Amino acid sequence: MTIVFTLNDREVTWEIEPTETLLQALRRNGLVGAKEGCDTASCGVCTVLLDNKPVPSCAVPAARVDGHTVTTVEGVQDQARRIGEAMAAEGADQCGYCTPGLVMSLVAMEKELDQPDDEQIRSYLAGNMCRCSGYTSQMRAVRKYLGGGR
């Protein structure tokens, strides 16, 4: 099955299996930033943007992205670097496995919400699980990245 879509600001044509997930297709095509975690759409480590909305790529059939726009962490390197610096400065990035999904959710949140408060940040990032650092340092890092330092 052939799909054509925009990936990280470039039009691509991929051959996929009818039952393949977007996560599987991305990783098979060398985009390994989205991690494989729970395979039940509940941990957030595979988050990508589909038409600028965060989605768990493990739960999206690859065929669904035909004609749409997908952004992965590889496509937001400048933002990912700045978010990573904020995470490191606050001790929020230990193993790093959850970071790409958190980055993608934060990129989407930044586009959607203007000056979010703590409750909005927590709500937006609720689907991103971290087993290492806890969430206090991540909240500090998100605030630092967003420029509030609250």
Write out pLDDT tens, residues 65-112: 999 999 999 999 999 999 999 999 998 877 878 889 999 999 999 999
Q: What is the mean pLDDT of the chain?
A: 91
The confidence band for 150, taking pLDDT boundaries of 50, 70 and 90, is very low
pLDDT at 148: 58
d(CA 142, CA 150): 10
The confidence band for 60, taking pLDDT boundaries of 50, 70 and 90, is very high
Domains and CATH numbers, the chain: 2-74 (3.10.20.30), 76-146 (1.10.150.120)
* pLDDT > 90 in the chain, percent: 69
Does 122 or 4 have the greater pLDDT score? 4
Q: Highest mean pLDDT: which of 56-70, 99-113, 124-138?
A: 56-70
d(CA 127, CA 26): 21
pLDDT at 106: 93
Residues 6+ apart with CB under 8 A from 107: 49, 71, 76, 79
